[in-house]
Amino acid sequence: MNTTLKVTKYQLYGFYKAVLVFYAIIFAVSLGATALSLKASERVTFGGLGTATIIFISIAGMDCFKTSFMFMTANNVTRRRFYHGTLIALVALAAFMALVDTAL
């Protein structure tokens, strides 16, 4: 179990910068939409955040296997522990992003 948690922490650390960049872009786009709505007479809406999050999680999930797997196998982590740790990290990431998307 200890190895699984180490894999989970390693994967979550790898997702940290990507999630910050993702939400910085989302914030910039929503700020731009707000600026346009103040300037224009029409109503401007911002949607599709859930779809963007799903695409981000899918790409992050596909990207986290190859290099991390080779690194973990070099450090004597079994495939089973690697997959369990990665699955826990992806579920935690999805739960966090769902919570943030609900707040936005």
Count of the separate structural domains present in the chain? 1
* pLDDT of 21: 94
The boundaries of the domain holding residue 57 are: 2-103
Q: What is the pTM of this model?
A: 0.81
User: How is 7-26 classified by DSSP, letter by letter?
Assistant: HHHHHHHHHHHHHHHHHHHH
Q: Which parts of the chain sit beneath pLDDT 70? A: 1, 44-46
Amino acid code (one letter) for 26: I
* pLDDT of 9: 92
